[in-house]
Amino acid sequence: MAWKILSALSALCLAGSAFFAWKNTEALKNERAREEYTNKNLTSIQEHKKAAEESKAKHTTDLAEANKELETTKASVADALTKATEKEQELAAVKIQLEGITKVVNDLQKQIDEAGDINALLATIATLEKEKKEAESKLANESQRLANAQETVNNLTNAAKAAEEREARGRKGIVEPDFTARVSQSFPQWGFVVLNKGNGGGVFANANLEVKRGQETIAKLRVRNVEQNGSVADLVPGSATEGTSIRTGDLVVAAAEQAVTAPKTTTAPTAAPGAPAAPAPAAAPAASDPFGAPPAGGMAPAPASDPFGAPPAGGMAPAAPAAPASDPFGAAPAAPAAPATGTPAAPSTADPFGAAPPKP
């Protein structure tokens, strides 16, 4: 009996277990269906979320670009407003200029109306222009004539100044620094030489000269008498180099050091031609002087047997206006020489040949 009860209970338990197993199977099936549906929805949701995030990023980018375009548009609008203001100001200025131009045009039109015939005015203007050109041409001609006259005056002034300077140099007995001449005749026994240049060659009375042979100065001279194409110069005592004598053809140049003041014997060059010069204390001629002119720098007297026949010292007036009859040149005593052409240069204080100073 008990086993029947147990069998019945077992059968009931089995039946209950089968019922609950069936129920659980349905619930599990439903749960699995819901899980599958949930999984499907999760994928869709994730895709939707991804699409939403992409859409958000796109909208964010579009918003940034829109903001940027907005700022650009604002700047463009501000710039356009500024330009519009400037254009308005320019327009106002143009209006003012237009008003001024209109006023000028009206004034000109008024003047034209008041002037009358324009063709007559143009003809008058053409006539005035022609007269102006003629006046300018005359003015140019007169200006050229004035310039020529001024140039002539300047040339004459310069020539007069040069002549005065040459006359002053002649009075002082200073020759040009580049002066050169040659000894045409030498009279060593009488202490003088004859040069191949005179007034025309730039020689002045009382000029200091040097005799060159090669690069050496062999003697010093002082001009006594001057003619147009020749002159006579005395040998300065003690200046001749020992053992040498002046020969025909020797070169004569300006002295390295020339006197800068006129000697006493040439202080009266303004006397009339042929008038006797004023006597000087140290200018008495030596008894043996063949020319009867004052010796230069205390020249030693010549021997008594003067070949030129000069009168003795006691019978000869100092600085006579004419040379003695025995003067082979017939020249007047040292008179102011005619100035040479050209503007004289300042006297040089150095030997132009670079020679050593003469031996004592």
Name the band, by pLDDT with cuts 50, 70 and 90, for residue 250.
Answer: very high
Query: Given this model, what pLDDT does residue 181 score?
Result: 94
Q: What is the pTM of this model?
A: 0.33
Torsion angle, alpha carbons of 208, 214, 215, 218, to 10: -50
CATH class of 176-258+322-338+348-360: mainly beta
Residue 81, pLDDT above cutoff 80 = yes
Residue 263, pLDDT above cutoff 60 = no
Torsion angle, alpha carbons of 82, 83, 85, 87, to 10: 170
Of 294, 280, 301, the C-alpha closest to 334 is 294
Residue 344, pLDDT above cutoff 90 = no
Rounded to whole angstroms, what are the CA distances from 22 to 17, 58, 294?
8, 53, 182
Residue 166, pLDDT above cutoff 50 = yes
Q: What percent of the chain has pLDDT over 70?
A: 70
Q: Specify whether the CB–CB gap between 235 and 221 falls below 8 A.
A: yes
Q: What is the mean pLDDT of residues 208-220?
A: 91
How far apart CA 243 and CA 177 sit, in angstroms, is 28
Name the band, by pLDDT with cuts 50, 70 and 90, for residue 1.
Answer: low
Q: Specify whether the CB–CB gap between 209 and 259 falls below 8 A.
A: no
pLDDT tens digits for range 289-315: 444 444 444 333 333 334 344 433 333
Query: Given this model, what pLDDT does residue 50 score?
Result: 86
pLDDT tens digits for range 87-130: 999 999 999 999 999 999 998 888 877 776 778 878 888 999 99
